[in-house]
Amino acid sequence: MNDKNIKNEKMEAIVSLAKRRGFIYQGSDIYGGLSGTWDFGPLGVTLKRNIMNQWWKMFVEEREDMYGVDAAILMNQKVWQASGHVDTFSDPMVECSNCKSRFRADNTDLTKCQNCGKEGTFGEPRQFNMMFKTHVGPVDDESSISYLRPETAQGIFTNYKNVLDSFYPDLPFGLAQQGKAFRNEISPRDFIFRTREFEQMEIEYFVHPEKWEESFEMWRKLVWDWCAAIGLPTESVHELEVSDKDRAHYSKRTIDFEFDFPIGREELLGLAYRGSFDLDNIQRVSGKSMDYNVKGTNEKFVPHVIEPSFGVERALMAVLSAAYTEDEVNGEKRVYLKLPEQLAPVKYAVSPLLKNKPELVAKAREVYELLRKKHGAVMWDDNGNIGKRYRRQDEIGTPYCVVIDFDTLENNSVTIRNRDTTEQTLVSINDL
């Protein structure tokens, strides 16, 4: 078996586990699905929130120079005209004249159609705008056009002046936002890697034009800290300096942070220096000044911007890929998710040793309530025998399984089993 097959096998195993255990389902599955959309099940939504909460804590709550915002997804169409998205947010697309399938021209073998296998069926690439267009209100004309936002960034730029006027922050300072973004991708692919609806966590960090490099370096380091905080091994994360011809229209410098996903090395997130591109455009189109006035001086300028831009689904896929582990316990293959504790959707699973012994069940419920009050994410699990429960909890990455047996009734101690080592220890309920 070649290396590629092994990698794809791992991807298949993760996709299958994600579905089986209630992390991620195909969107609109019951009606045959909707390409490029995925639904998060009970464990997936918690894992996703844990990732997003960690980001918010690290980059907003724990920093004096950061402010959070939550802008509307639908925005005035002028936003997307000014930002350049109406004219330039497009991918080159080719169509097969035989089966009519469409592909992105920049990562397709143009000699042969990968859908029908016919050769020489592609014409010249055409530009395809990836924004989802819609109309706001009952009138369907040019003036009511709006778009589902293709990046959260513009909701930050359009609030720069509001936050400046409300809080008078010193430079450098940043605004952060988390939320949905939509792109009508020509070829969504690889599970949640490239989808049509996804979430972003973005920061626009406003700096003095002459000091952008030091902030860029600060964020470069903070991105590495973030990767470590969500449990990505350093050796699986790589920086790629994006060349002039491959950079987005707004960027003067970009580093893509790539991750060794099971599907190969691919972009996890981006760090860009956007200069004053966006604020200049807003100033030009709105006619309102975007100047920053340095306190106590006459110095005024439009700040420059450093933008770390994180995709939630890609972070989640990287977390799952890094956590997915196979080993052998008592001669049997075991699969477990070695999730960092703070990200695990369930922190403790609580079980009575036997579910037909009312005194064990009653004591176990007591422990369950106690832990749930303390930690929130606690699961009651009395299905099957203890071995099966452990395997099930391993597969969803629960760090600790707590078992209540007859000793508990006598001496108030429970057995705690560790996910990673499978070791079991006796702990007093009072010390839980």
Instruction: Tell me which of 309, 351, 393, 398 binds ligand GAP, using CB under 6 A.
Output: 309
In the complex, the smallest distance separating the C-beta of residue 314 from ligand GAP, rounded to whole angstroms, is 4
Instruction: Tell me which of 200, 215, 393, 398 binds ligand GAP, using CB under 6 A.
Output: 200
Q: Is 185 in the site for ligand GAP (CB under 6 A)?
A: yes
Q: Do the Cβ atoms of 146 and 74 come closer than 8 Å?
A: yes
Q: Is 129 exposed, middle or buried (0-12, 13-18, 19+ CB in 10 A)?
A: middle
Cα–Cα distance between 83 and 80 in angstroms, integer? 5
Task: List the structure tokens of 125.
Answer: 């690439």
Q: Using CB under 6 A, which of the segments 3-11, 54-62, 198-206, 279-287 binds ligand GAP?
A: 198-206
Quick note: the x/- pattern for ligand GAP over 230-269, rule CB under 6 A, is -------------------------------------x-x
Q: Is 311 in the site for ligand GAP (CB under 6 A)?
A: yes
Q: Do the Cβ atoms of 414 and 426 come closer than 8 Å?
A: yes
Residues in CB range of 162: below 8 A, 6 or more apart: none
Q: Is 270 in the site for ligand GAP (CB under 6 A)?
A: yes
Q: Do the Cβ atoms of 307 and 203 come closer than 8 Å?
A: yes
Cα–Cα distance between 218 and 332 in angstroms, integer? 47
Task: List the structure tokens of 194.
Answer: 């490239």
Q: Is 195 in the site for ligand GAP (CB under 6 A)?
A: yes
Q: Using CB under 6 A, which of the segments 51-59, 196-204, 358-366, 398-406 binds ligand GAP?
A: 196-204
Task: List the structure tokens of 387.
Answer: 């071995």
Chain CA centroid to CA 214, Å: 26
Q: Do the Cβ atoms of 202 and 291 come closer than 8 Å?
A: no
Instruction: Tell me which of 313, 381, 394, 405 binds ligand GAP, using CB under 6 A.
Output: 313
Instruction: Tell me which of 202, 278, 394, 405 binds ligand GAP, using CB under 6 A.
Output: 202
Q: Is 91 in the site for ligand GAP (CB under 6 A)?
A: no
CA angle 82, 86, 92 (to 5 degrees): 140
Q: Is 161 in the site for ligand GAP (CB under 6 A)?
A: no
Instruction: Tell me which of 48, 85, 194, 363 binds ligand GAP, using CB under 6 A.
Output: 194
25 vs 380, which CB is nearer to ligand GAP? 25
In the complex, the smallest distance separating the C-beta of residue 270 from ligand GAP, rounded to whole angstroms, is 4
Q: Using CB under 6 A, which of the segments 67-75, 193-201, 348-356, 419-427 binds ligand GAP?
A: 193-201
Provide φ and ψ at 156, rounded to 5°: -80, -50
Nearest to 81 by CA among 137, 147, 128, 132: 147
- Other CB atoms within a 10 A radius of the CB of residue 92 amount to 15
Q: Is 95 in the site for ligand GAP (CB under 6 A)?
A: no
58 vs 361, which CB is nearer to ligand GAP? 58
Task: List the structure tokens of 136.
Answer: 């706001």
Q: Is 183 in the site for ligand GAP (CB under 6 A)?
A: yes
Can you list the pairs that 242-248 forms with residues at least 24 positions away whose Cβ atoms lie under 8 Å? 247/272, 248/272
In the complex, the smallest distance separating the C-beta of residue 126 from ligand GAP, rounded to whole angstroms, is 20
In the complex, the smallest distance separating the C-beta of residue 316 from ligand GAP, rounded to whole angstroms, is 10
Cα–Cα distance between 83 and 274 in angstroms, integer? 11
279-288 burial code (b ≥16 CB/10 A, e <16): bebbbeeeee
* Measured CA distances, 279 to 143, 174, 314 (Å): 24, 14, 28
Q: Do the Cβ atoms of 402 and 416 come closer than 8 Å?
A: yes
Q: Using CB under 6 A, which of the segments 2-10, 236-244, 310-318, 405-413 binds ligand GAP?
A: 310-318
Q: Is 177 in the site for ligand GAP (CB under 6 A)?
A: no
Q: Using CB under 6 A, which of the segments 82-90, 306-314, 339-347, 373-381 binds ligand GAP?
A: 306-314
In the complex, the smallest distance separating the C-beta of residue 344 from ligand GAP, rounded to whole angstroms, is 22
In the complex, the smallest distance separating the C-beta of residue 205 from ligand GAP, rounded to whole angstroms, is 13
Instruction: Tell me which of 151, 381, 394, 405 binds ligand GAP, using CB under 6 A.
Output: 151
Judged by the rule CB under 6 A, the positions of this chain that interact with ligand GAP are 151, 153, 183, 185, 194-195, 198, 200, 202, 267, 269-270, 309, 311, 313-314
